Copies of this chain bind each other. A is one copy, B any other.
Amino acid sequence: MKKKITMTLATGLAAALGATILFQLPVRQAQAAEGESTGLSFLTYTADGKIVRPEPSLYRKWVYVGTPLTPNDMNDGEASFPEFHAVYMDPISFASFEKTGVYPEGTVLIKELSAVGAKEASSGTGYFMGEFTGLEITVKDSVRYKDEPGNWGYYSFGHKYPLKDEATMNRTASCNACHEKTAANNAQNLSKDWVFEQYYPMLSAARAALKKK
């Protein structure tokens, strides 16, 4: 009897979820049509809208798009984003970006931070990666972030291990504002969207290759 109730509850829940999904589909389809794909399937959200921290086994095989570096020793001892920022793009959205030059609905960009581990090596003086220290995510979703500039949401799991298991969306002013400003600077090419594409040659090269076609 107990089992039956559980199953009925589960069926009811599935039906309710199904209804919600059906209800949302027209919007999602309209958005997906523009950019062809969605990388959202890679992420898990909690019921109250937090993102569950993805395992490294997910994103470390995504498409690498570049590594800005803001070392602590060049930022008064403590960079806002310490220190190497390795950025990955989900492969579904990258495949779409390669074809269209547009960051499609559902684009997921993951920034994995690592500390400077050394400044001298056989190859010269510079900055060499050390331990992983942080993880951040940005997602483009016109449904979930309909009130956010550019429809991007920004999340941080922290800049120091152990990382948070779940992250709440950052306030608009703390991340989106700088990215929005970039978009304004990129006004001559709005498809660059909220992305600092100028620091990611893998992305600008994909765009340049598209223009040649």
Identify the A interface with B (CB < 8 A).
56, 60-61, 63-64, 66-71, 74-75, 79-81, 83-86, 88, 91, 114, 117-118, 121-132, 178, 181-182, 196, 198-202, 205
Main secondary structure, interface of A, reads: mixed
| CB of A155 to closest CB in B, whole Å | 16
Q: Once bound together, how far apart are the Cα atoms of A201 and B60, in whole Å?
A: 11
| CB of A122 to closest CB in B, whole Å | 4
Q: Once bound together, how far apart are the Cα atoms of A74 and B73, in whole Å?
A: 14
A123 and B84 form a contact (CB under 8 A): no
Q: Once bound together, how far apart are the Cα atoms of A91 and B68, in whole Å?
A: 24
| Chain multiplicity (copies) | 2
B118 and A56 form a contact (CB under 8 A): no
Residue of B nearest to A87 (CB): B64
B200 and A70 form a contact (CB under 8 A): no
Q: Once bound together, how far apart are the Cα atoms of A197 and B84, in whole Å?
A: 16
Most chain B beta carbons < 10 A, residue from A70, A79, A91, A129: A129
Q: Which residues of B contact A86 (CB under 8 A)?
A: 64, 66-67
A63 and B63 form a contact (CB under 8 A): no
A123 and B80 form a contact (CB under 8 A): yes
Other contacts beyond A80-B124, A81-B123: 9, CB < 8 A: A61-B91, A64-B64, A66-B86, A67-B67, A70-B126, A117-B198, A128-B198, A129-B199, A130-B201
Q: Which residues of B contact A75 (CB under 8 A)?
A: 124-126
Q: Once bound together, how far apart are the Cα atoms of A80 and B122, in whole Å?
A: 10
A88 and B74 form a contact (CB under 8 A): no
B67 and A117 form a contact (CB under 8 A): no
Q: Which residues of B contact A81 (CB under 8 A)?
A: 123-124
Q: Which residues of B contact A60 (CB under 8 A)?
A: 63-64, 202, 205
